[in-house]
Amino acid sequence: MDRQRRAGLLFVLPAVVYFGGVFLVPLVESVIGSFYRTVPGGLSQFVGTRLYVKVLTDPTFWQAVGNTLSLLVMSVPVTVVVALAVALGLHRLRSLEARSAWAAMYFLPFSVSLVAAALVWQWIYDPVYGVLNHALAGLGVPPLKWLQSLDLVRPSLAAVNVWARLGFDTMIFLAALQAIPAEYYEAAAIDGASAWQALRRITLPLLNPQIVMVAILELIFNFKIFDTVYATTQGGPAGASQTVIMLLYDTAFKYFRLGDASVMAVFVFVSLLLVTLLQWRLFRRQVEY
């Protein structure tokens, strides 16, 4: 091995060690653990694929998957579209100070602990004392049971997710927008392109890598959502907001079924991997002008 190659390997070694220790080893442990059940007394027993059959035929598990997907569908497109809209708006601001101030305001929720944010939102959503119902009462809307309603709990949690993630996605889009050369827009203007045409033909194609990346990140974030749900509803009411990760947590640490929980972990990993690869393949296009 030549010196340059060795140096390169040494540079990536810390990252490889970290990634291996924190991600790969637990992943391999989870895969192995999914073939063992814990019996009373704490011993493990090899059961082959029995736990896969058990978990994948359990209606509670599929209800949790359904809840997760429902939250994901409500959160991801809204977050991406709104973040893009905000970034476009910020990009049009001429004053750098104003742009920075607005960007910082949008980014602030991202820097707040999700548990703390969830608790604040719990108060906002409180059906009796919440500021949201108080404001709606001023408009003549009767009080709503945001987190205590089977129909409203997931949209309410999705709104919290959008609020929490908007700033981060906006920053990515804003940085990408600033990297698009102004000449493209000048050329388009000379050719008589409208603002809408410039957006469709220049901005969106050039933002494609960022849009794909943000969509994947949001997908992963929302699929793994735990903190906000755990702190606000604990999966209720009546299981209406129980997500896969919440069920996984309960299965592992409340019911002490580490094997079943490992099956769920493997399911989450494989699902995310497949969806990410699919998304990457379908939507990622190289655009050059």
Partner 1 sequence: MRGVRTVAVTAVVAMALAAPSSWAQPKKLVFWTHWEQNPEFNKFYETRGKDFGQKTGYEVQVVTVPYQGYEAKYLAALMGKSGAPDIFMGMTHHWCGQYDFCDKMPADLARTWGENLPKYMLNVGKWKGTRYGIPIEHGNFQQMYIDAELFKKAGLDPDKPPKTLDDWLAAMKKLTVLDAKGEPTQVGFALRHKGHPVGITDKFLPFAHAFGARMLSPNLEKATGFANSAEMVAALQFYSDLVNKHKVASTAFPTPEDAFGQKRAATIFRESWFFGWVKKNAPDVAFKVYALPCGKTCPGAGNLFPWTNMVAKSSPHKQAAWDFMKFISNAKDDLDQHQAQGILPVWTANLDSAYVKSRPDYQSTQEMLRQPVPPEYYHPKSNELATAFGEAVVAALYGKGQPKPLLDEAAAKMDRILRD
Least separation in angstroms between CB 122 and partner 1: 8
Nearer to partner 1, 14 or 142 (CB): 142
The residue type found at 77 is: P
Count the neighbouring beta carbons within 10 Å of the beta carbon of residue 99. 17
Which residue stretch of 13-21, 121-129, 203-211, 266-274 sits at the interface with partner 1 (rule: CB under 8 A)?
121-129
Nearer to partner 1, 27 or 82 (CB): 27
> Backbone phi, then psi, for 170, in 5-degree steps?
-60, -45
Sign of the torsion angle spanned by Cα atoms 230, 233, 239, 242: negative
Nearer to partner 1, 35 or 106 (CB): 35
The answer to the question of residue 22 lying near partner 1 (CB under 8 A) is no
The residue type found at 247 is: L
Count the neighbouring beta carbons within 10 Å of the beta carbon of residue 30. 18
The residue type found at 120 is: V
Cβ atoms of 226 and 53 closer than 8 Å: no
Least separation in angstroms between CB 263 and partner 1: 13
The answer to the question of residue 139 lying near partner 1 (CB under 8 A) is no
Question: How many of the chain's residues bind partner 1 (CB under 8 A)?
Answer: 34
Least separation in angstroms between CB 57 and partner 1: 11
Burial of 201 per CB tally in 10 Å (0-12, 13-18, 19+) = middle
Three-state secondary structure call for residue 137: helix
Residue 36's DSSP bridge partners are: 46
- Determine which helix (DSSP H) or strand (DSSP E) holds 37, and give its type and residue range: strand 36-38
The answer to the question of residue 48 lying near partner 1 (CB under 8 A) is no
The answer to the question of residue 154 lying near partner 1 (CB under 8 A) is no
The answer to the question of residue 276 lying near partner 1 (CB under 8 A) is no
The answer to the question of residue 61 lying near partner 1 (CB under 8 A) is no
The answer to the question of residue 148 lying near partner 1 (CB under 8 A) is yes
Cβ atoms of 171 and 105 closer than 8 Å: no
The answer to the question of residue 252 lying near partner 1 (CB under 8 A) is yes
The answer to the question of residue 110 lying near partner 1 (CB under 8 A) is no
Q: Give the separation between CA 83 and CA 85, rounded to whole angstroms.
A: 5
Count the neighbouring beta carbons within 10 Å of the beta carbon of residue 281. 8
The answer to the question of residue 289 lying near partner 1 (CB under 8 A) is no
Contact with partner 1 (CB under 8 A) among 66, 127, 205, 209: 127
Least separation in angstroms between CB 260 and partner 1: 9
The answer to the question of residue 167 lying near partner 1 (CB under 8 A) is no
Q: Give the separation between CA 23 and CA 17, rounded to whole angstroms.
A: 10
The answer to the question of residue 227 lying near partner 1 (CB under 8 A) is no
The answer to the question of residue 62 lying near partner 1 (CB under 8 A) is no
Cβ atoms of 238 and 150 closer than 8 Å: yes
Least separation in angstroms between CB 13 and partner 1: 27
- Chain residues that interact with partner 1, rule: CB under 8 A: 37-38, 40-43, 54, 60, 122, 126-128, 142-143, 145, 147-148, 150, 230, 233-239, 249-250, 252-257
